[in-house]
Amino acid sequence: MERIFLDNAATTPLDPEVLEAMTQVMRNDFGNPSSIHAEGRKARNLIEGARKTVANVLNCSIGEIFFTSGGTEANNMALKNAVRDLGVRRIISSPLEHHCVLHSLDAIRATGAARVEMVRIDEVGHVDLADLRRLLEQSDEKTLVSLMHANNEIGNLLPLQEVADLCTETGAYFHCDTVQTMGYYPIDLERTRVSFLSGSAHKFYGPKGIGFIYINNDNHIKPYLDGGAQERNMRGGTENLYGIVGLARALDKAVREREERQRRMEDVREYLIERLRATYPGVNFNGDPEHGHYKVLSVSFPESPKGDLLLMNLDMAGISASGGSACSSGIDVGSHVVGHLHPDSKRHTIRFSFSHHNTREQVDYVVERLGGML
């Protein structure tokens, strides 16, 4: 059997149609988008067409979309610029956020420019909305709430509309990392009021190294990267033209095929849950799999002498999965999310994350091979 890729929360394979669109741009459209001659104008039109695609998906203005190098830059930009330019003096977040958010908060805290408070997380990893309200109502300081839409390690979903409404009610800014949900769940920014929102193409079958940030028109911030006048003076540097075109093509296709893709992933995920429960009675599922992202399943197996080699043995069997986030320079250091929820556990955790390319036959193979590894 060919290798089975079950690490789609880390990245997704580049869609062939996206690759073809990018290749055409590389081959034919080499102009600098800042140039005023014909080649430059054509490149500029491609970028603005891509911006319109993203804005249409999110139901927002094209003037609120800015292309970045990915989700990490977008999240850094939102957090640090809110403090620097919007007068934010308090940030409310959670200990389960992606490391690019947590490390940005560490950097902000170290400067003394703003203080950081963590909202309570319940026993399965959901944000305690009552505690969030309490935190928001206890201070008149200018506050930013930063919470991800879906956790990248256990898949728990944030009730986006409820949090957005609560922030609006209490006058707080709201930044949402939607890297794991962009293209998978509908987001209507006309209805759901968000201050900042981030996305990254390689999570929805687009290229790596390109993402975007949505900045609500009410928020006037200065550039995060100084340079030329690109991205309407918001991000210096010659635009990644073929990456931007690839992002837009991938997002457009993800939205058009969303329901069919979701059906396939839900079927494979539920089948894996069913097979694991039937085959390995001691298995546990982290987070709240009944109300989580259909792309992610975090599985904990009982402690065993072979457990520390589980990921390596899966890899040798042709199965790609992870034990935690894939953002540690290729070194799996375990999940800070699972560690927070189960600090004393010695169980062995694997994150399986799915694409619409996965099949039930692949699940059967994975469950069978696990038998000799536990």
Catalytic residue among 60, 100, 176, 327: 327
Return the ∠ at Cα 106 (arms to 105 and 112), rounded to 5°.
Answer: 90
Element (H, E) at 169: helix 160-170
The Cα 168–Cα 173 span in angstroms is: 8
Query: At 143, is the secondary structure helix, strand, or coil?
Result: strand
Name the nearest CA neighbour of 352 among 303, 302, 292, 308.
Answer: 292
60 is catalytic: no
**End-to-end alpha-carbon separation of the chain, Å?**
22
Total number of residues shown for the chain = 374
Q: What is the dihedral of CA 178, 180, 185, 186, to 10 degrees?
A: 30
The Cα 41–Cα 44 span in angstroms is: 5
The Cα 65–Cα 50 span in angstroms is: 10
Query: At 222, is the secondary structure helix, strand, or coil?
Result: coil
Edge-to-edge strand ranges of the sheet holding 348-353: 284-285, 296-301, 348-353
Using CB atoms within 10 A of its CB, is residue 120 exposed (0-12), middle (13-18) or buried (19+)? Answer: middle
358: left (phi over 0), alpha (psi -120 to 50) or beta: beta
Q: Give CA separation, 9 vs 153, 227, 293, 320, in Å.
A: 8, 33, 10, 12
Buried b (16+ CB within 10 A) or exposed e, 300-339: bbeeeeebeebbebbeebebbbbbbbbeeeeeeeebbbbb
Element (H, E) at 175: strand 173-177
**Cβ-Cβ contacts under 8 Å for 327 (sequence gap 6 or more):** 98, 99, 100
Active-site residue list: 327
